[in-house]
Amino acid sequence: MVFSKRSEMQFRYWDERRRGVSQSEISRKYDVTRQNISKAIKVQEREVMIRLLDIAQVSSIFPEWYSVEKGILIGTIPLLNNSKCLLLIDGTNNAHLFYDPNLFGDLKKKKQSLLKLLIMVKETVGLNKKFEGFHMILEAIIQGG
């Protein structure tokens, strides 16, 4: 994805904010006013919302819950027996789609998929708990950690 300098900075501000950095700290770090940080984050949140919903539509996902502040959408996929899925925007502005690993038979792949999801959720939303399964991760995200 090609960014202008402005949209790249908006994404950086938004990404730092979702990781828990205050707008004041972001303002000091980049030597930009808090008002400009706030405006940039709002613009980026709108872009994240549009992107999450566009990807969901293209992927035939019915959104059930999303957070533009965290860059996450949880939904169901009718083509996979209404299984739950998680759509996540990572720190490099790439989108990742995770399905319930129990849909697939290979135990090794299930563990690898769950581990990758846990790492990505920890990096992007700061969820640091240990979880037994995919649905527990989704519930923790919805409940705010």
Q: According to the model, what pLDDT value does residue 141 have?
A: 77
Residues 6+ positions from 15 with CB-CB distance below 8 Å: 91
- The whole-model pTM stands at 0.80
Q: What is the mean pLDDT of residues 84-104?
A: 83
Of 4-8, 28-32, 96-100, which gets the smallest average pLDDT?
A: 4-8
Q: Which residue has the higher pLDDT, 41 or 143?
A: 41
The whole domain housing 126 covers 5-143
Q: What contacts 26, CB < 8 A, 6 or more positions away?
A: 13, 16, 17, 32, 37
Residues 11-56: pLDDT tens digits? 999 999 998 899 999 999 999 999 999 999 999 999 999 999 999 9
Asked if 41 contacts 23 with a C-beta cutoff of 8 angstroms, the reply is: yes
User: Predicted confidence band at 2 (pLDDT cuts at 50, 70, 90)?
Assistant: very low
Which residues is 66 bridged to in the sheet?
73
pLDDT tens-digit readout, 58-79 = 989 999 999 999 999 999 988 8
Structural domains of the chain, count: 1
Strands 83-89 and 62-67: unpaired
* Nearest of 110, 108, 67, 69 to residue 86 by alpha carbon: 67
